[in-house]
Amino acid sequence: MKKFAALAVVVLLAGSVFAQSGSYKLNDKVANFSLNDGQNKAVSLSDYAGKRAVVVVFTNNLCPYSKLYEQRLVNLAGAYAGKGIQFIFVNPSIGTGEGSETRQDLASKNYSFPYLADEGQQLSAKFGATKTPEAFVLLQNEGQFTLKYKGAIDDNPQVADQVKNFFLKNVIDEVLGNKTVTSLERRATGCMIKKY
């Protein structure tokens, strides 16, 4: 019985790694995508070809960690909006089954940036997103976007005023300063994205 349990764990882990193997890696070019917002309006990555970078955050209104980070992310988006940084929220749990969120849940948020539905979870799979919230920084160069960072927003999801390492903010500052991104990946803390 123990051998069977061990084999089952190995198969599950291998399946998880295989499922993520087709996702973007750091420094990969990111293909254009288009998703709909709460009003069913299509928003594409290419809409922001004039921005210095796009920050894609996979989030979920029902996740306690996403709720803890919501205001911090909204503040970051506001602070950097005039500096050529575009934020986009993407919800990978829209329409995934009973009790899941709907487009109306997206529309109820009054953000100054797009909040999009990843119905079918194709975009979250392509990015390799595993948790909400999880951030991805896409550096724009001649209309093409390159993945420069993925992972955590900072090192303290529970208490905003006790954060010591502002991972996402530091990456944005490095991008704006035309510096090499020093922190390429940080394990995100959050709710697991359930695959449907």
Query: What secondary structure does DSSP assign to 109-124, as a single string?
Result: ---SS-EEE-TTSHHH
Cα 148 to chain center, whole Å? 13
| Domains detected in the chain | 24-192 (3.40.30.10)
- What share of the chain in percent tops pLDDT 90? 69
Cis peptide before 133 (omega within 30 of 0): yes
Query: What secondary structure does DSSP assign to 78-118, as a single string?
Result: HHHGGGTEEEEEEETTBTSSTT-B-HHHHHT---SS-EEE-
3-7, 86-90, 104-108, 134-138: range with lowest mean pLDDT: 3-7
User: What confidence score (pLDDT) does residue 98 get?
Assistant: 53
User: What confidence score (pLDDT) does residue 167 get?
Assistant: 95
pLDDT digits 0-9 by tens, 140-181: 999 899 999 999 999 999 999 999 999 999 999 999 999 988
Report residue 90's pLDDT band, with 50, 70 and 90 as the boundaries: very high
Residue 174 token pair: 């490095």
CA-CA-CA-CA torsion sign (101, 95, 86, 113): negative
pLDDT digits 0-9 by tens, 91-114: 998 866 655 677 777 778 889 999
Q: What is the pTM of this model?
A: 0.86
